[in-house]
Amino acid sequence: MSASKPPAVIRPAWAKINLYLEVTGRRPNGYHELDSLIVFAGLGDRLVLEAADTLELSVTGRHAKGVPSDSSNLVMAAAEALRQASGTRQGARVRLEKRIPVAAGVGGGSADAAATLEGLRQLWKLKISDRDLRELSLGLGADVPVCLFGLPALVQGIGEVIERAPPLPPVWLDLVNPGVSLSTPAVFKARSGDFTQARPWPGGAETAAQLADLLRGWRNDLQPPAAGLAPVVETVLAKLGALPGALFSRMSGSGATCFALFSSAKEAKSAAASLSAEQPDWWVAAAPLLHGKLSDEWRRDTRPAAG
């Protein structure tokens, strides 16, 4: 390694969870208007970005199977888009560790793209503003801007209207994916019936139980069509809802990952352990809801691995 080579940039790409997701309309181009409360959980993929002459991507980790490492991966698309927008000719060697399931409704690809944009801006020392980065990000996918935002958010439009959500209480989440991947366009296409009228989210929940009570008044409008395509979603929701300490369960995004809310780490971890023992083929994980970008999880996850 030459003395001038900048140190590797390490970025987490947190799982995105839609606490609710209502479909409020449809645009002439086929995209749907949404109203969603989006949060991030303290677990996700991890990217290591190093300076190189060309752009290269390698994918590792438990969920790497079937994930492309060519230009069809959003990481590569994000890197190319940033190169174009900034005019830089720099390259990068990107290692993407897939720790969360793909095509799962937890925004893995979108979070990876957002982490790539921020990571490469830092690695390449680009002057591009947050605003320009945000505009660029929407071209990569409707969920990429909110992943770039990285904080609890109320999201409208197709994903580009983002506002910081009112404070949320401390909450732990169990996330469960039964190993079924669902195509987002297919789930949107299978949705039927009237659109939901957007209502203002009142906030004000001071405990996890109060948050659960509030959420019962909102829905994930993609849950019925997703369950129609993958009936196991109903089984996952029933199992999650019956776990000791579970306050509330719902599907995230276009599925098939579902979540349950808990008041404490202890309850969430013990419920996850018992569900995992009962359903060894399912992906089951417990994680805190992240309230800020510079959380302890961020610090732990961005520490270079020993050796």
Count of alpha carbons within 13 Å of 118, Cβ hemisphere only? 21
Contact between 270 and ligand C5P by CB under 6 A: the answer reads no
Closest distance between ligand C5P and the C-beta of residue 1, in Å?
Answer: 37
Q: Is 16 a catalytic residue?
A: yes
Residues binding ligand C5P: number (CB under 6 A)? 12
Closest distance between ligand C5P and the C-beta of residue 186, in Å?
Answer: 9
User: Cβ of 298: how many Cβ atoms within 10 Å?
Assistant: 17
Site mask for ligand C5P (CB under 6 A), range 177-216, x = bound: -------xx--x----------------------------
Closest CA to 74 of 112, 107, 46, 122: 112
Judged by CB under 6 A, the chain residues 53 through 112 that form the site for ligand C5P are: none
User: Cβ of 50: how many Cβ atoms within 10 Å?
Assistant: 18
Q: 35, 112, 143, 267: which one contacts ligand C5P (CB under 6 A)? A: 143
Q: Is 102 exposed, middle or buried (0-12, 13-18, 19+ CB in 10 A)?
A: middle
* Residue placing its CB nearer to ligand C5P in the complex, 189 or 300: 189
Contact between 121 and ligand C5P by CB under 6 A: the answer reads no
Closest distance between ligand C5P and the C-beta of residue 205, in Å?
Answer: 26
Contact between 31 and ligand C5P by CB under 6 A: the answer reads yes
Q: 11, 16, 32, 134: which one contacts ligand C5P (CB under 6 A)? A: 32
- For tokens 């969360």, name the residue: 100
* Residue placing its CB nearer to ligand C5P in the complex, 34 or 173: 34
* Residue placing its CB nearer to ligand C5P in the complex, 32 or 99: 32
* Residue placing its CB nearer to ligand C5P in the complex, 9 or 113: 113
Closest distance between ligand C5P and the C-beta of residue 22, in Å?
Answer: 11
Peptide bond into 256 cis (omega under 30): yes
Contact between 255 and ligand C5P by CB under 6 A: the answer reads no
Contact between 142 and ligand C5P by CB under 6 A: the answer reads yes
CA 184/CA 253 separation, integer angstroms: 8
CA 248/CA 250 separation, integer angstroms: 7
Residue tagged active-site, from 35, 143, 174, 221: 143
Task: With beta carbons less than 8 A apart as the criterion, state whether 246 and 270 touch.
Answer: no
CA 276/CA 91 separation, integer angstroms: 41
What backbone phi and psi angles, to 5 degrees, belong to 219?
-135, 170
Closest distance between ligand C5P and the C-beta of residue 239, in Å?
Answer: 27
What would the DSSP string read from start to end of 24-82? Answer: EEE-TTSPEEEEEEEEEEEEEEEEEEEEESSEEEEEESTT-TT---STTSHHHHHHHHH
Contact between 141 and ligand C5P by CB under 6 A: the answer reads yes
Site mask for ligand C5P (CB under 6 A), range 145-184, x = bound: -------------xx------------------------x
Residue tagged active-site, from 16, 35, 98, 112: 16
Q: Is 112 a catalytic residue?
A: no
* Residue placing its CB nearer to ligand C5P in the complex, 172 or 218: 218
Question: Where in the chain does DSSP place strands (E)?
Answer: 9-26, 32-52, 55-60, 91-97, 153-156, 161-164, 172-177, 248-251, 258-262, 283-288
Active site residues: 16, 143
